[in-house]
Amino acid sequence: MATTATILQGVTISGAIQPEHKKILTPEALAFLTLLHRSFNGTRKALLERRKIRQAELDKGILPDFLPETKHIRENPTWKGAPPAPGLVDRRVEITGPTDRKMVVNALNSDVWTYMADFEDSSAPTWDNMINGQVNLYDAVRRQLQFKQGQKEYKIRTNRVLPTLIVRPRGWHLEEKHVIVDGDPISGSLFDFGLYFFHNAFESVKQGFGPYFYLPKMESHLEARLWNDAFNLAQDYIGMSRGTIRGTVLIETILAAFEMDEIIYELRDHSSGLNCGRWDYIFSVIKKFRQNSSFVLPDRSAVTMTVPFMDAYVKLLIQTCHKRGVHAMGGMAAQIPIKDDKAANDKAMEGVRADKLREVRAGHDGTWVAHPALAAIASDIFNKHMPTPNQLFVRREDVKIGANDLLNMNVPGQVTEEGIRKNLNIGLGYMEAWIRGVGCVPINYLMEDAATAEVSRSQLWQWVRHSVTTAEGKKVDKSYALKLLKEQTDALAKNAPKGNKFGLAAQYFAGQVTGEDYADFLTTLLYNEITAVGSASPASKL
């Protein structure tokens, strides 16, 4: 068997390594990451190329449909996903957020059932954010998480069972450029997953849960198969029983919606269900069909969960999950309490209640909140309408969803100048924060992250591309979009602290809202702005 030093030949790290990082970036952990990279990076790259081929077909007007070659999987009623794992039987309210130390403490102290610690959409992947996040989760799993900030001391409660910890690594398209293996950056997915798993798999089982993950941004069952292969290798490598890992897949791309059965099937021994990633799903619909004028959507506020294509997606997801015995998780409540306006706050919270009531009545087994104050609202609704730990018994056999339902873009509403300005503000506000290393930002009492920023810039691109006319009678063209962009940038920069990054954010955004160039993801577009690649050090010298 190869030694650690032998495995680490050809591996370099260019991120700064602080003393507290050394318990994470051990030679043994890096050797494990290297094994994951060498085993799976070729397949990962091939699957990303497959995405490009699929996009070219969509650009030609070839619409997606359920796969004929996997019909036997969809129509076989006998196979099931894994039964719910310890700590994942009851998931009625899940809180989500980044992995900074304060957030981890507050999330684990919240009155929720699980906490999704996020290395993805709500985190800007600076080297320090990613490694410090791993340090924080290492301490959290061991119930050793505490720190002081000024006069205030933060520590996780020890007088009750804590929410089950679930980790969301980055998607397959993202890389970690601070770690180079054989000349290539390591996959961000494998980096985030591998470090957390290597250090915490056995300890998490000892604490009564397990190595659990949320898997983002997949576009096909073949991408789920790659995760399953990585899970099997990881468990075998450390001597852990296969099936101990569990993965909940976010269905947040339109193409994955046509392969939900197949995605559960690929992960079945490791599956803990599917989640409605609503904002990324809307983003995906616009992105994938951006050349097709039949898919132009109105203002973001009009694209609710009850419009036809979103309603169909929810119903099919719940039906599919429960048929296979796994959880069907609801979407995010992104609202933040409005402390200085009771009437506005009451209206916003009533919207949260209505959304959660819709979810529990539809058959969801749980839901997401972004703020601890919303946990009580979501809990009240789910406790009242779901007295059991889940509702896997709600079969939804009444549901009959076909390809046309998933692609039904009959969405009432108009494009307005107010909607354009809101999208510009959200895109600029998020991108400016991201460049500063902050991955989620409150805007107009909503917690905005990469998903909502993507919806904003994709709608702007789409409206210019297809020469939409606003409700006010104005044609949305390149010059109009850039004029409004400048106005919103100037207004935001004027009220922001000195040293803000709105000017830089606007430079990037200007290239994304004119109906011409279209970056695959904002995060990949901006990533080089937050990499701090220094001199490379051989991993074997750590």
Query: pLDDT tens digits, residue range 433-469?
Result: 999 999 989 888 888 889 999 999 999 999 999 999 9
What's the confidence (pLDDT) of residue 336? Answer: 87
User: Is residue 66 included in any domain, yes or no?
Assistant: no
Tell me, yes or no, whether 394 and 502 share the same domain: no
Tell me, yes or no, whether 235 and 315 share the same domain: yes
What's the confidence (pLDDT) of residue 107? Answer: 96
Tell me, yes or no, whether 377 and 438 share the same domain: no
Digit-coded pLDDT (tens) for 34-64: 999 999 999 999 999 999 999 999 999 999 9
At which of 406, 440, 467 does a domain end?
Answer: 406
Residue 513 sits at the vertex; the CA angle it makes with 511 and 515, to the nearest 5 degrees, is: 95
At which of 376, 406, 436 does a domain end?
Answer: 406
Tell me, yes or no, whether 384 and 435 share the same domain: no
Phi, psi of 448 (to 5 degrees): -95, 140
Phi, psi of 253 (to 5 degrees): -135, 145
Domain of residue 482, residue span:
414-528
User: Is residue 473 included in any domain, yes or no?
Assistant: yes
Tell me, yes or no, whether 250 and 338 share the same domain: yes
**CA dihedral sign, ordered 356, 371, 310, 116:** negative
User: Is residue 101 included in any domain, yes or no?
Assistant: yes
At which of 373, 406, 439 does a domain end?
Answer: 406
Q: What 3-state DSSP class applies to 135?
A: helix
What's the confidence (pLDDT) of residue 446? Answer: 85
Tell me, yes or no, whether 396 and 421 share the same domain: no
Digit-coded pLDDT (tens) for 391-414: 999 999 999 999 999 999 999 999
Q: Which amino acid is at 280?
A: D
Dist. CA 120–CA 280, nearest whole Å: 12
Count how many domains the chain has.
Answer: 2
User: Is residue 3 included in any domain, yes or no?
Assistant: no
User: Is residue 390 included in any domain, yes or no?
Assistant: yes
Q: Which one, of 68, 148, 55, 46, lies nearest residue 105 by Cα?
A: 148
Q: What 3-state DSSP class applies to 19?
A: helix
Alpha helices in 207-327, H assignment, sequence order: 221-238, 254-257, 260-266, 278-288, 308-323
Dist. CA 247–CA 331, nearest whole Å: 17
Dist. CA 430–CA 428, nearest whole Å: 6
- Whole-Å CA distances, 411 to 9, 294, 311, 359, 397: 55, 11, 11, 20, 26
Dist. CA 488–CA 312, nearest whole Å: 36
**Residue 185 CB coordination number (10 Å):** 18
H or E stretch at 167 = strand 164-168
Dist. CA 511–CA 377, nearest whole Å: 41
Tell me, yes or no, whether 342 and 432 share the same domain: no
CA 306 from chain centre, in angstroms, equals: 22
Tell me, yes or no, whether 284 and 402 share the same domain: yes
What's the confidence (pLDDT) of residue 253? Answer: 98
Tell me, yes or no, whether 397 and 467 share the same domain: no
End-to-end CA distance of the chain: 21
Kindly give the confidence (pLDDT) of every residue in the chain, 542 residues in length, as a single tens digit, with 9 standing for 90 and above. Answer: 679 989 999 999 999 999 999 999 999 999 999 999 999 999 999 999 999 999 999 999 999 999 999 999 999 999 999 999 999 999 999 999 999 999 999 999 999 999 999 999 999 999 999 999 999 999 999 999 988 888 889 999 888 899 999 999 999 999 999 999 999 999 999 999 999 999 999 999 999 999 999 999 999 999 999 999 999 999 999 999 999 999 999 999 999 999 999 999 999 999 999 999 999 999 999 999 999 999 999 999 999 999 999 999 999 999 999 999 999 999 998 888 898 889 999 999 999 999 999 999 999 999 999 999 899 999 999 999 999 999 999 999 999 999 999 999 999 999 999 999 999 999 999 999 999 999 989 888 888 889 999 999 999 999 999 999 999 999 999 999 999 999 999 999 999 999 999 999 999 999 999 999 999 999 999 999 999 776 667 776 66
What's the confidence (pLDDT) of residue 536? Answer: 67
Tell me, yes or no, whether 232 and 349 share the same domain: yes
As to burial, measured by CB atoms within 10 angstroms (0-12 exposed, 13-18 middle, 19+ buried), residue 168 is buried
- List the CATH number of the domain containing 123: 3.20.20.360
What's the pTM value of the predicted model, to 2 decimals?
0.97
User: Is residue 331 included in any domain, yes or no?
Assistant: yes
Unique residue bearing structure tokens 């397949």:
43
User: Is residue 296 included in any domain, yes or no?
Assistant: no
Unique residue bearing structure tokens 């993202």:
174
Are the C-beta atoms of residues 243 and 60 closer than 8 Å to each other? no
Tell me, yes or no, whether 421 and 375 share the same domain: no
**CA dihedral sign, ordered 150, 136, 94, 92:** negative
User: Is residue 74 included in any domain, yes or no?
Assistant: no
**Tokens coding 51:** 């995405």
User: Which residues are known to be catalytic?
Assistant: 168, 449
Tell me, yes or no, whether 395 and 421 share the same domain: no
- List the CATH number of the domain containing 502: 1.20.1220.12
As to burial, measured by CB atoms within 10 angstroms (0-12 exposed, 13-18 middle, 19+ buried), residue 61 is exposed
Dist. CA 105–CA 140, nearest whole Å: 8
Dist. CA 401–CA 353, nearest whole Å: 27
Instruction: Read off the DSSP letter of residue 335.
Output: B
